[in-house]
Structure 1
């Protein structure tokens, strides 16, 4: 019997720092929710938004901020890296997901 260990997603310091800036500007202390939903042009899509943690969430903490992942999305995000990117096309939270076999140019849709 082989036991496969899946690691939770990692959140970069840059992503935690940007979340801190967003919360400071809004005057609230929301968590960044990262979820996986069916749909998108490749089969699955990421849902990234500010939210309140719930009981079944995995909470990743850093720099006084929280990133939460629900229990259903967690297997899809094993070993993924949640980051924040500023490019010419815009600034956004990004996910580098080693579980995705392909992804779409939009950066929010993927397949496994």
Structure 2
């Protein structure tokens, strides 16, 4: 996997850093704010640099977090009061209530 362009990465991180506590955006939402359809590239940016921003506030279009991060994200969601829905496989964010679109 190659790293995304630095300027796009910086823009992604700025958008993610602006998401209010208790709210989320999807990878596609972040891309759209930047005038792009590159949701997968947003995911790559988060994989490389997400530790610098509130990474748990970026979720899949289904409301699920990236695999392997469910437990840590849930701690943040509970602390911030992010609306979540219990599912048979665990949980997902309630996008209808939590989605942030600047």
The structure with the largest strand share of the pair is: 1
Which protein has the larger Cα radius of gyration, Structure 1 or Structure 2? 1
Would you say same fold, with TM above 0.5? no
More helix by share: 2
TM-score normalized with structure 1 length: 0.28
